[in-house]
Amino acid sequence: MSELQEEVQRLAAKALADFNDRAQGRLDFSEESLQVVEEMLAEASEYRDDLPSEAVEGLVTRLGCYTWKSVASSLEARIHGSKNEISPCL
C-alpha cells in the first residue's frame, strides 16, 4: 500500500471516529452513509464563516477521505461480485 493510500485510510478511520456519534452511528463506509456525509457537510457549511480555515480544511479532508474509502469499498464489492479480478482501489 502506498503512503498516500495509507494516509487516506488513516483519515477515513479518523472521520469515522470523530463523526460517527454526530451521525448517530450511521457512518459505516456504505453508499447509504454518503447521504449522511452530505447532510453533515451541508450543516457545517452554515457555520463556515465562523470557523478557522484549519477546522474547515480538516473537516473536508477527513470526510473526503471517508467518501473515497466508501466509494472504493463499494466498487470493490461490485467488481468482486461480478467475479472480475482486479487489484483493490485502497
How do residues 6-25 score in pLDDT, each as one tens digit? 999 999 999 999 999 999 99
Whether the predicted model's global pTM rises above the 0.95 cut: no
Query: Measured between alpha carbons, how far is 48 from 32 in angstroms, rounded to an integer?
Result: 25
Question: Could you report the per-residue pLDDT of 16-75, keeping only the tens digit for each?
Answer: 999 999 999 999 999 999 999 999 999 999 999 999 999 999 999 999 999 999 999 888
Query: Measured between alpha carbons, how far is 4 from 31 in angstroms, rounded to an integer?
Result: 22
pLDDT of residue 18: 97
pLDDT of residue 21: 97
pLDDT of residue 80: 76
Q: Who's near 10: CB < 8 A, 6+ residues apart?
A: 65
Half-sphere exposure of 81 (CA within 13 A, CB side): 6
Query: Measured between alpha carbons, how far is 55 from 40 in angstroms, rounded to an integer?
Result: 14
